[in-house]
Each structure stands twice: as C-alpha cells, then as structure tokens.
Structure 1
Amino acid sequence: MTVTRFAPSPNGPLHLGHAYSAVVAHDLAKRAGGRFLLRIEDIDGPRSRPELAEAFRRDLAWLGLEWEEVPAQSTRLATYAAAAQELLARGYLYRCTCTRAEIVSLGPRIGSQGAVYPGTCKTRPPEPDKPAALRLDMARALADVGPLEWEDAVAGVQRADPLEAGDVVIVRKDSPASYHLAATLDDAADSVTLVTRGEDLFAATPIHRVLQALLDLPVPRWHHHRLLVDASGQKLAKRRGSPSLADRREAGEDGLLLAEQLRLHRFPGGISLASA
C-alpha cells in the first residue's frame, strides 16, 4: 500500500509551497488507494506554536484534502533518545562542542548540507562542561554498511554519497533530535512507503539512507517534487513572509479551486515551478 505524509513544522503559517506539497502527497496516495498522513513536527523548542498546528488542519480541510493524523514529534522523544543512545554506544556518534562561528572560522568546504564539519571534535577529548551536539562519524558508518542506493520516483535509482555532507549533526544542542534522525525514525514508525517532499531535500536523502541501514529500518521510495518560486526566482518561505494559506482562507478564497489550480500548475501572482 502507498503511504505518504505531509509533515509541517508549526513555527510559521503554511503558504502556497506547502499547499502544493500537501496536494502532491495526498494525490499520490489517493490515486493508489493508499493513505495520506499528517504529522506535526513540533520539536523546534519555543518556535513551535500549538495554535499553528490547528491552523494547519483548517488549511488542509479548506483545500479539500483528507488525511489521517499520526502522533506529533513531541510525543516521540523517547524513541529519538533510544536511537541516539544506540548509535552512540555502537561508536557511530561523537560529541561536538564546536559553535557555528568556530566551524566557519576554519574555512570548511561547502557541501550539500552547508559547511562540512572538519571533524575537530572527533580527534580531541570532549569538553564535558560545554553544550554538545552529537555528530555521525560518516566514514565509520559507511565502512560498516557499504555502498547504498535509494530510488526517487522522479529521478530514478541513486547511489548514495553521504560523505559529501560530512559528519552531520544527529542530535542538536538545543533539540532532542535533528531533522535527519527524527524524520527517518518517524517515517519508519508511520509505515511511510513514499516519502514525498520538495527537491530542496534531495541531497539529505543519502544521510537518511545511512541511518536506515544503521538502525535496520525499512527503506521507502522517495518523490522529490519541484519547488514553487516567486517572480524573482526565490522559493516560497515562511521567513520571507510568503502569503499564508490562512490569510487566503480567511479572505474567502475558494480552497477547493486553489487545490485544483495547483494540480494543473496554474499559480497566482507570478509564482511558478522552479526549473527542472
């Protein structure tokens, strides 16, 4: 059975980019007679606002989508802690007390996930009194799991190249889990078979594939869809104040019509799909 999910974070209102992503995931599941899930990813500390999660539900209903809601991330903290402890005990994680400024000062190369960590804390004694993140020793992990592949419904079979991203953070200093760990565990727990998300996360998938291999998790297929961009070519984003679905809904706009327009790739106000 095809199981997809839409997993927004309640740290800002949804916009048209979210609506498009939700419609794509919803329709892929429904056309296959499968299930479309809603999962609230609410472990971003004080930035997570419960009232926004309720607004998300109203937005999806306004668009005419039908979903099953699964437990929010804030209810799964013990699962994240157990997985991190297992990886730490097996020697795949190490403590890192470096700040972002310290990493930038070292002039690191830039990879798919931003600045690639140079491994400073891998070879020096940990500083017990400083806040620490947990990083994945990617070279050690790959030495044990070997070459990995994953399949994207749009781009086809891919050879995973997680070394390109370096030793990524698995448990943040200020959060019980990174996106990489939480989303990977959640998709397995929710029996997601088709991970549908924007192509801006395409480069994160090799990291998730390594975590699946290390933790013996099922391997789904992925579907990375194109992003919506504004007239300047910038992707729609909460931080840039892209018009919200809630504002459109409260202004009396027809959500069913909007969803149909998104399916037909007819976008308002100079918005378009990013070039393939």
Structure 2
Amino acid sequence: MGTSLQHHGAETSPPPVCRFAPSTTGPAHLGTLAAALLCWLDARSRGARLLLRLEDLDPDRCRPEHARSLLDDFTWLGLDWDEILAQRTLAAQHEAALDHLEARGALYPCDATREALRAIGRRAPDGGFAYDNRSRERPLPPGGWRACHEPIRVALPAGTFRPFDEGGLDLAQEPALAFGDPVVRRRDGAIAYQLAVVVDDAASGVTRIVRGRDIAPSTATQAALQTLLGLPAPVYRHHLLLLEARGGKLAKTHLAPRGAALGLSAPRLCGQLAACVGLLPAPEDCTPTDLLRTFDWQRVTTIDRVVRWQDGQLDATPADP
C-alpha cells in the first residue's frame, strides 16, 4: 500500500514575473532610465522575477549597437535583471499566434495608407488616426498570411474591455471602434507591436507590467488580442512620463544620460531621477538599492514632469494638465 503524502501549511503562490521592454531604436534617455528604475524598484520590492526584453523587431530602426548601449546604461545606473532576452528569439511564438488567428478567420489584408487614415479624419485615443475596419471582408490569399504581401490586420472582438490598472487609471475602451483593427504583420514582414507584446509577455509568463502612461490607450487593444489568443491578462500599472520643454514625451534623441555630456556619476543621476519622480524630497546621491529600502508607489507622483538640464542639475516641473 502506498504512502499518502500530505502538505502541511499554507500554499505559496509563485512570485510575480515583471518585465521591462525598451525598443532598441536608440540609446537610453532620461525617460528610459526613469521607467527602468521604477520597474526595477517595483519588481525587487515584491520579490518578483524581472525580465529585460530588448524589443528589436523593427528592421528599419533597431540596431545591435543600441541594444548594447541600453544594457551598458542600465548596468551603469545599478540595475540588474534575472533574464535578458531579445524579442526576435520569439519568432516561432509570433508565427504560432498568426496561425491561431488565421484559423479563427480573424486575419485580413489591408492596404490602407497613413494618408487614407488621415482622410477618414477620426482621432484615436492616443492622438493618432483611427482605422474604420473597411477591409474586414477581404480574404487572405491562397497560402494564408505567409503568402500575403500586404499589411495584415486582425478583426478585434466587439465590446468594451476593462484591463485592470493598479494605480486606478481607467483603461476601459471599445478598441475595435476607438482605434480600429490593428496591424499585426507589417508589409515588410515584421510582426507589429500590438501582437508581439501580448505574445511575448505570455511566452515569458509575465504577470505584472509597469510602464509609462503613453502606452495606456493601447491596453484595451492588447486585452482584446489576449482574449482572441486565449492568453492570460497581466496586472498593469502605468506611471508618469518625463516630457521635454515643448510638452512631448522624451525621445531617444533627448537628454541621453551617460558620458561626458552631462558629467554626472551614476549615484548623482539616480538621486536626481528619484527626486524627479517623487521618491526623494530633494536630489541626493544614491543607488537603486538605496531607494529600494523605502520604495512605495504612494510616494511616486502621478503628474507628468517637464525636465531640463540647468547648471548640471535636473530641473523637473509639473506638466500642465
């Protein structure tokens, strides 16, 4: 007769899995480092596994030297990762997702140009132009999506999606109307962002996503794709953005942090970033590990900051509402 083994004590849940996923289209800037720091602090404060995913699917803009530069910048600041992975290594999962969507009859070719979307004239929640789903009835060519030489879109399910944002941001949206069906494979064959991000997160078992508020309008579209693909929904937290003086989000060409241009040590810049986002009352030299001891999202400002360099100091002021 076999022995029955019983487990005594409370069941333990697996640790959360978090990720930071910068695109490899240029070097890090202050916004990149602030976002990486907040993601790192969130993950390390809760004992989560933390993945760095280098998004490198855009053949026109992504470069290996930018990937190396990002890694150097994160190491310089004092951030570490439990796993580092290049997005292009998930190609098999991307293709399997397209096969799944094709089997559901959800894919269709669409040759609508940006000019055509502007002519429609309907603004999407992110400020761009929405697509009116005009080509939904077009079939894929014989041979399916692999034989298609046009951009491919996916027909999103109708209805409102309500992803959960831990910071209280309202993400409810009917993405099939608000944005229209997204492109999932580009004309050049590259997998488009909206599909790649949900497939990649599921492939790595990501359960928690901390990212900038600029991505928030896309979250319902990603929730719709998760539903189509039968993938689990992570918990989201969208944080403030660092803006340039003219009001736009910092880009790869704005305020690159490392090197002689700024002349700051990593602890000096870390302290200035921490003060900028509200984790310190005033700048002081510190490391990410120092900040971890008292990290709390309640201390992080929810108001975007306009940043400028002035006399070797990072000047951050609240953005206009």
**Within 5 Å, which residues of 2 pair with 1:224-263?**
224-238=238-252, 241-247=253-259, 252-263=263-274
- In the TM superposition, residue 251 of structure 1 has moved relative to its aligned partner by 5.7
DSSP 3-state at the match of 1:46: coil
Q: Cα 1:134–1:199, aligned 2, differ >3 Å: closer, same or farther?
A: same
Alignment partner, residue 52 of structure 1? 66
The residue identity in structure 2 corresponding to 1:253 is L
Q: What amino acid is the match of 1:38?
A: L
Q: Which amino acid aligns with 2:121?
A: P
**CA displacement at 1:4 relative to structure 2:** 2.0
**1:176 and 1:25 mapped to 2: Cα distance?**
27
Q: How does 1:110-259 map to 2 (within 5 A)?
A: 110-113=123-126, 114-123=128-137, 131-138=149-156, 141-142=157-158, 147-156=160-169, 158-163=171-176, 164-238=178-252, 241-247=253-259, 252-259=263-270
- Give the Å deviation of 1:172: 1.5
**Who is 1:89 aligned against?**
103
Q: Identify, as 1 or 2, the structure richer in helix.
A: 1
Q: Distance in 2 between matches of 1:264 and 1:225?
A: 15
Q: Secondary structure at the residue paired with 1:36? A: strand
Write the deviation string for residues 92-128 of structure 1: whole angstroms up to 9, x where unpaired: 12111222223333x2311125222223322456789
Contact 1:195 1:222 in 2 (8 A): yes
Contact 2:111–2:150, Cα closer than 8 Å, also in 1: yes
Q: CA deviation at 1:24?
A: 0.5
Deviation at 1:272, TM superposition (A): 4.2
CA distance in 2, matches of 1:93, 1:272: 45
Q: Name the CA distance, whole Å, in 2 between partners of 1:160 and 1:236.
A: 26
Identity level (%): 37
Counterpart Cα distance in 1 of 2:319 and 2:61 = 28
- The runs of 5 or more residues in structure 1 that have no matched partner are none
* Cα distance change, pair 78–212 in 1 and its aligned pair in 2 (3 A): same
Contact 1:96-1:135 at 8 Å conserved across structures: yes
CA contact (8 A) 2:55 2:86 kept: yes
Q: Deviations over 1:216-249 (max 9, x none)?
A: 11111111111001233222112xx20212346x
Distance 1:217 1:125, change over 3 A: closer
Partner of 1:73: 87
* Letter in structure 2 aligned against 1:26: W
Structure 1 residues 95 and 273: alpha-carbon distance in aligned structure 2, compared to 1, 3 A threshold: farther
User: Is the 8 Å Cα contact of residues 59 and 190 (structure 2) preserved in structure 1?
Assistant: no
Greater Rg over alpha carbons, structure: 2
Structure 2 unaligned spans of 5+: 1-14, 277-282, 284-306, 310-314
- Which moved further from structure 2: 160-169 or 194-203? 160-169
* d(CA) in 2 for partners of 1:125, 1:3: 38
- State the number of aligned residues: 267
RMSD value, Cα: 2.4
Q: Is residue 109 from structure 1 mapped to residue 122 from structure 2 by the alignment?
A: yes
Distance in 2, matches of 1:259 and 1:3, equals: 24
